[in-house]
Chain A
Amino acid sequence: MSGAMPVAIGNYLALSSIIFFIGVAGVLLRRNPLIMLMSVELMWNAANLLFLAFARVWLNNAGHVFAFLVITVAAAEAAIGLAIIVTVFRTRANVDVDEVGALRG
């Protein structure tokens, strides 16, 4: 790799946005909690991509560090999310988020 980036930054912006909003659509449109969590992971990663792209443009390490921290927190969050899913859906017939209506009212 030479100094300049071969691909323009605008491309990375578009790509990241598309992946991010695919993730949003997944969260809203699917009712399986596991799929929702995976969509959230998509969103994290889209952001990470962008961080690293800009870090490359400006040759600044902060992007790398932040992306690293994002990965860490994403892992923690995934763990806890899965634990919640297990707890809630362990004794249910349907693994459907719409059924968990105890917060209604």
Chain B
Amino acid sequence: MAIWLFPLLGALACWFLGPQLKSKSGWLACAAMLLSFVATLLSWRAGTQSVGGVLGVVQPLGISWIPGFDFGLMLDPLSLIWALIITGVGSLIHLYSVGYMHGDRAIARFFAYMNFFVFAMLTLVLSDNFVGLLIGWGLVGLASYFLIGFWFDRPSAVAAARKAFVINVVGDVGIMLAIFILFANLHSLSFSAVFAGAGGLSTGTLLAVCVFLFVGAAAKSAQVPLHTWLPDAMEGPTPVSALIHAATMVTAGVYLIARCAPLWSHSPDAQLLVGSIGGLTALVGAILGTAQWDIKRILAYSTMSQIGYMIMGVGVGAYEGGVAHFFTHAFFKAQLFLGSGLIIHALANEQDVRRMGGLRKKLPFAFVAMGTGVLAICGIPGFSGFFSKDMVIYGTLEHGHPWMYAVGILTAGITAYYMFRLLFVTFLGEYRGDVDPARLGIPATQTAAATVSHEDVHDRAPAWIMAVPVGILIVPSVLVGWLMFGGDGSPWSRLFAGQFVAAPGVAPAISETLTSSIVLVVVLAGIAVAVWRYATKAALSASIERLAGESLHMPAVLSNAFYVDAAIDAVLVRGSQLLGAFFGRILDPRAIDGAARGVAGSAEIFGGVVRSLQNGLLRSYALALVVGVACVIAYYALAGGAH
């Protein structure tokens, strides 16, 4: 429980004592994070123990909110891994932020939001029931909204925050529907009860539940077609991108699917759906990553692509592989983002790579950091990404999905291409910061940051407080993969023994070693293309012309991100606006107001009729009397009331 509460206390302290603390709030937030991390480490034993077949430990909170329904915290290997990443990598990012956000006037609010986010994410992963998970889910979306739109005087940031939140709400609805169905059928929402009863549900029900849960996962984890918020979310500060949109929040979908593995193992159709979308997202993200010029957007699309891998992995049932990829990805993606933050900070908030170049000599530390990150993500043997990515790709073949296998391999090649493109364009050649943007192919509409000249770049090298976390991250992003080395006997597999029900895997035609070799070949091919385009002597000397040419000849499909945003705008946004206009301009005035006026009008008419009866003519009154009497007589005469 301590794990859970420290960030909450930190958030509250930063929020309420913010004006007093100002920049010291950063240290307070870091302290909260470190305490939480330490608590997580201390809980390792408890989390991994296996008592009587029950994995991990459950700590009921004793809050009976709804009668007969108890909330509690659960710590088992799955949530433990997530908690480690959240608190560990989170602590490093907090430390980094103290330097990055230095001087920002709302620094206390920033750290309050960051701690709040961590608290929400921990709620999500530490709950032992669906409702707690949903609460955490929603709070995480809220924290993301706060943090993306942190610099709220920028309209683009506000719009991006809103977009993220709206798409997340779509996901929330999906999870809620799944919860409703589960509760209606099983009358309980704690994980243990639901998973025990999962086998008893009909195929249709189970499929519906899985699909709805996946809607939620897809929204949070930026899978196609709910991915459009992620690139725009880069409007937030870089540490935010590192923490939320690389390591933790976007992986919540992966956590959800891994946690509900018993549900998915009973529904092969759902597995096929999830795996396909994961593969598709991986491919689409990679393709779009090749067409980006903003350093953070390149990383955003790469995140989308890598999460596609994770989803594909846990979707088909390769849970260990998918979770492993999450673990390694958290390290190297955070490192990449923080490294890019170093560059951005040094160049006075310039993010367009066309205006970079030659930073290898100017910011050597950043070069080392980004370089190792790129090597890891491409799956170069020896680096962590290599192990986890191959686990995922091989897993798809093991569970009988050859198409996904092919997509995974292809995407690995494309990933290598665009990541090395990033590396080469940013760090090699000559510095292009003082070149006229028009010559580089940058459109005039794009707001350029202040030009930083050659000399100033060197003086703006990062302070120790930002460099240290990045340096610390280099180690795991390189080495952590070795935990997964060794197949079923590896430390990783032993950790998760008993966590996931192993589906019987078919021994595939292509062995694991052969798979790894194929992947390596494809990756090297991608690197070769990148070298040929950007790193040869000829390319470097003509870099300005090459980049300008590429900018101008970028296919419109790619620069508009396959028109997904435009499609959503046309269908959903315009549709809602039309609906609103219809109601506002047609239905409301005519139908509803018309009805009201009609009532008044009919009252008027009725009044007119009645008024004509009051004409002062005595004889007409007498006539009325007679007519009435005649009616009564007629009634009695006809109805035989003469008795």
Contacts and interface: CB of A to CB of B under 8 A. Distances in A.
Interface of B: 611, 614-619, 622-623, 626
A104 B622 contact: no
B616 A28 contact: no
A100 interface: yes
B622 A101 contact: no
A87 to B, nearest CB: 15
Given A24-B626, A28-B622, A101-B615, 5 more contacts: A27-B626, A28-B626, A31-B619, A98-B618, A101-B617
A100 B619 CA distance: 11
Contacts of A105: 611, 614, 616
Contacts of B611: 105
Interface string A68-105: 00000000000000000000000000000110111111
Contacts of A101: 615-617
Contacts of A100: 616, 618
A56 to B, nearest CB: 20
A98 B617 contact: yes
24 contacts: A24-B626, A27-B619, A27-B622, A28-B622, A28-B623, A28-B626, A97-B618, A98-B617, A98-B618, A98-B619, A100-B616, A100-B618, A101-B615, A101-B616, A102-B616, A103-B614, A103-B616, A104-B614, A104-B615, A104-B616, A104-B617, A105-B611, A105-B614, A105-B616
The 10 closest A-B pairs by CB, nearest first: A104-B616, A101-B616, A103-B616, A97-B618, A27-B622, A24-B626, A28-B622, A28-B623, A104-B615, A105-B614
- Say what secondary structure dominates the interface of chain A: loop
B369 to A, nearest CB: 95
Contacts of A102: 616
B433 to A, nearest CB: 91
A21 to B, nearest CB: 9
Q: How large is the interface on A (under 10, 10 to 19, 20 to 34, 35 or more residues)?
A: 10 to 19
Interface of A: 24, 27-28, 31, 97-98, 100-105
A98 B619 CA distance: 7
A28 B618 contact: no
B619 A28 contact: yes
Contact of A97 (B614, B615, B619, B623): B619
A100 B617 CA distance: 7
B108 to A, nearest CB: 76
Nearest to B618: A97
Contacts of A24: 626
A79 B103 CA distance: 107
Contacts of B626: 24, 27-28
A100 B615 CA distance: 11
Nearest to A100: B618
Nearest to A98: B617
B8 to A, nearest CB: 76
A4 B615 CA distance: 52
A28 B622 CA distance: 7
Contacts of B618: 97-98, 100
A24 B623 CA distance: 9
Contacts of B616: 100-105
B78 to A, nearest CB: 85
Contacts of A27: 619, 622, 626
Nearest to B617: A98
Contacts of B623: 28
B636 to A, nearest CB: 14
A48 to B, nearest CB: 18
B477 to A, nearest CB: 95
Contacts of A31: 619
Nearest to B611: A105
A82 to B, nearest CB: 16
Contacts of A28: 619, 622-623, 626
Contacts of B617: 98, 101, 104
Contacts of B619: 27-28, 31, 97-98
